Amino acid sequence: MYNKIGDDMENIIKIENLNLTLNNKWIFKNFNLSLNKNEKILLNSKSGSGKTTLLNIIFGFFYIDSDVYINNNKLNSKNIEKIRENISYIPQNIFFQTMKVIEFIEYIFSLKQYRKKELDILKLEKYLEIFQLDKDILNNFTNKLSGGEKQRLMLIITILLDKDIWLLDEPTSAIDSETKKKVIENILKLDKTMIIVSHDKEWLEYESIKIISW
């Protein structure tokens, strides 16, 4: 199976001959994927087909017998931390430490890998408004947030971190339909390379996103 988008010379993500079985069942067999800078794809296969597994492989959560390249660097145990510096991954199950939202955001920016980045408060407030969140939410405790609020905040944090590659696993599943459309529209405007896993039909409405299924 080969899914190619764009020119090889510009590949940001490239997977060659991915083979993986789980519980004696083929999840991937000779699977290939290439993705160029700022391109966006939606993985649209049935449940249990390995979509989340593919994100985990790209992020280096586990290693398999295949060639995975990020920015022309072959993924391995020695370079994974360096490669991750350029990747944001929002998992399906989001974990927030219990503290005020603004404290949680400041905590993320205090982590070693993000210390060179400065928290842009004006940009934060801009996207709170775009994603239809009141500024007062910054003083709320994270354990009081709804699922949709958590998802929108994680997307805003991802925007603020400004990494080039985004891996998004069901990033809008808990957001109401009207707000979801606005969130998706603004995400797709960004100059980022994205692989999205979602069952939300709203993602299918945009021509800027490519649909990959297997």
> pLDDT tens, 79-121?
999 999 999 999 999 999 999 999 999 999 999 889 889 999 9
Q: Residue 9 has what pLDDT?
A: 54
User: Would you mind telling me the total number of residues written for the chain in this entry?
Assistant: 214
Q: What is the pLDDT of residue 3?
A: 57
Quick one: pLDDT at residue 175? Answer: 98
Angle at the Cα of 40 (from 36 to 41), degrees rounded to 5?
Answer: 105
Gap between the Cα atoms of 96 and 154, Å rounded: 9
Rounded distance between C-alpha atoms, residue 161 and residue 101, angstroms: 16
The list of the chain residues with pLDDT below 70 reads 1-9, 65
- Give the pLDDT confidence score for residue 72 in this predicted structure: 94
- The predicted model scores a pTM of 0.93
CA distances from 184 to 95, 145, 169, 178, 201 (A): 22, 20, 14, 10, 11
pLDDT at 2: 45
